[in-house]
Structure 1
Amino acid sequence: MVVKKVLNNNVIIADDNGNEVIVTGKGLGFGKKQGETVDESGAEKFFVLQDKKEQEQYKQLLIEVDEAFIGCMNECMTMLEKRFHVKLYEHIHVALTDHLYYAVHRQKQGLEVRNPFLTETELAYPAEFQAARELLLHVEKCTSTPMPEGEVGFVALHIHSALTSRSLEEVNQHTKLVSTLAGVIEDNLGLTMNAKELDHQRLLRHLHQAIERIQYNDDKEEPESLKKVLKDEYPLCYNLSWKLIKIMQHALKKPVPESEAVYLTLHLQRLARQRNE
């Protein structure tokens, strides 16, 4: 690899056999000039941002963000890749660096953004949620700035997006949809969803999984006889399941297989039974 451009003491743009790559490492860019060979032994991380728009966003970030914070974020990325044993979808370098840099600044200014989907996020993505909590502890150590609980949820969504190669916009849309569905369930069954209740956890996770199946046309079959039994035995929960299905269809602009009514009815009936005990 040869140097194309030095962005700061710790980040350079290099040419790797015709591919433009971003290389990071402590002091890697210090005193370097265009055309010189990159000392790969000092490179901590390198990645290719194929999207030209993302390349420009990252370069702009490097102008605004201090080098110490970039170093902290590189450590965070390494922590995540070791934890999940995967190569992260590289958009996270831009999106999460941008998000956390301004989140730290908001905290220093005494501003706090509420996260209304914290519970839904924790239940849907428990591994990502725990990783986000540990990552934020590292950011707090780097910046000497305590981060609010709500940020754990936001960071967990970034991590899930990076692990699944799904856009953050899509992940956010699905989380908001689950929150809407949970509200409808609470209103119709006269209960409050509780993150500590196992059956509540199972239902919310099922909703997330159902939305992903619908999005990617992964249908499940169910016995016709079971559908008829549930419709006759649990009409309240069966009708509620169809109300939820219609909301999903409207939000996702896709048909929802009838089999979903069976699985939702079973989950809803467990909650309704608990309420009546």
Structure 2
Amino acid sequence: MEIRKILNNNVVVSQNGSKQEIVVMGRGLAFQKKVGDEIDHSKIEKTFVLETHGISEKLAKLLRDTSEKYLDISAKILDYAQSQLPYKLDEYLYVALTDHLSFAITRHKQAIHLKNPLLWEIRKYYKQEFQIAQKALEIIEKETGIALGEDEAASIALHLVNSQLSGENMATAVQITEMVNTILNIVKYHFKMELDESSVNYERFLTHLRFFAIRFVRKEKLEETVDQFFFEQIKLKYPEAYICTEKVATYLKNQFNWSLTKDEEIYLTVHIHRVTNRHKLK
């Protein structure tokens, strides 16, 4: 296995037997080495595969100013996260999370503690990602001796959520979270009730809203597939839920200039009916 690119003295890029680009880490791995030299296998401490073109170049730029120990910590966190999550993580997280950890720990050492304004929403709406982020704090403390707070867990969780958007920026994840939060509040205020967050219907509704919001930020519109008769039947069958859907539609139109299709209105109406009707029956 030969060196194809040197990121710093301890990190190089090589290629595995499947011709995949891999990042290889180890103390002094590239010391007095050059591209084309064989890698000393006894010095290898960690490797991970990069399937996305261009990530190694971004890592190289980042590691000019950032210690590779943060890349190592990020890799451990992402290994754990990938074992827990049902979706594939975007490889850009190696760059984004390494950069974030370096900045967060530097701020902590300078006694600068920033509050995450979305902590409550992230903890509530992205429970699995937040639990993984709390585990990430344990990994960080074990590796650095620094205990970061829940605000940082929320930021790490947002990175994981954002990974579903294939490398789009963090502002996108924030926008999705705020949109989901507002729609849930519209439902709660309309029906004058608290939703049962432990119910399966609530989780289904939440999942629907997340993908609904992701489609919006990606500008993905559903094609109209439903006929007018079925649409009218849904309105008649679930009148209160449909009125609530109209309020959501007004919010989306006023705030984002996004007009819902009839299909989207039907999906929202049915989910709103389920999540509120089961609660009332209970």
Determine the structure 2 residue equivalent to 1:138: 139
Amino acid in structure 2 at the alignment position of 1:262: I
Is the Cα contact below 8 Å between 1:25 and 1:44 reproduced in 2? yes
| Aligned equivalents of 1:151, 1:21: Cα separation in 2 | 31
User: Which residue number corresponds to residue 116 of structure 1?
Assistant: 118
Work out whether 1:171 is the aligned partner of 2:183: no
Report the Cα offset of residue 209 of structure 1: 2.5
TM-score (norm 2): 0.74
1:77 partner amino acid: L
Which residues of structure 2 form unaligned runs of 5+?
none
Please say if residues 177 and 251 of structure 1, whose CA atoms lie closer than 8 Å, have aligned partners that are also in contact: no
**Partner residue, 1:91:** 92
Measured in 2, the distance between the counterparts of 1:114 and 1:134 equals 18
- On the 8 A contact 1:61/1:98 being kept in 2, the answer is yes
Aligned to 2:81: 80
In structure 2, give the amino acid aligned to 1:239.
I
Between 1:114-123 and 1:138-147, the stretch displaced more is 114-123
Quote the residue 2:163 is aligned against: 162
Give the Å deviation of 1:94.
Answer: 0.9
CA 222–146 in structure 1, closer or farther in 2 if over 3 Å, else same:
farther
Q: Once structures 1 and 2 are overlaid, which stretch shifts more, 39-48 or 133-142? A: 39-48
| Aligned-partner Cα distance in 2 for 1:84–1:114 | 23
Q: Could you list the runs of 5+ residues in structure 1 that have no partner in the other structure?
A: none
State the Cα deviation string for residues 26-69 of structure 1 (Å, max 9, x = none): 22525232132224672522536634xx6565334323333433
State whether residues 129 and 152 of structure 1, in contact with CA within 8 Å, keep that contact through their aligned partners in structure 2: yes
Deviations 1:213-237 (A, max 9, x none): 5643345855755543443455443
In the superposition, the TM-score normalised over structure 1's length comes to: 0.75
Once the two structures are TM-superposed, the CA of residue 258 in structure 1 deviates from its matched residue by 0.6
**AA paired with 2:168?**
S
1:99: Cα distance to partner?
A: 1.5
The DSSP-based 3-state class of the residue aligned with 2:23 is strand
Check whether the contact 2:11–2:25 (CA below 8 A) recurs between aligned residues. yes
Map 1:1-277 to 2 at 5 A.
Answer: 2-3=2-3, 6-13=6-13, 23-27=23-27, 29-35=29-35, 36-39=37-40, 42=44, 44-47=47-50, 50-51=53-54, 57-83=58-84, 88-108=89-109, 109-116=111-118, 118-119=120-121, 122-123=124-125, 125-162=126-163, 165-169=166-170, 170-192=172-194, 195-213=197-215, 215-219=219-223, 221=225, 224-225=228-229, 227-232=231-236, 234-248=238-252, 255-270=259-274, 272-273=276-277, 274=279
The structural deviation recorded for 1:242 is 1.9
Q: How many equivalent pairs are there?
A: 273
C-alpha deviations, 1:50-89, integer Å up to 9, x for none? 34xx656533432333343332223223333444598742
Distance 1:89 1:272 in 2: 35
Q: Which amino acid aligns with 1:50?
A: H
> Aligned Cα RMSD in Å?
3.9
Deviations 1:149-195 (A, max 9, x none): 23333323322443562524433332222122223333333344564
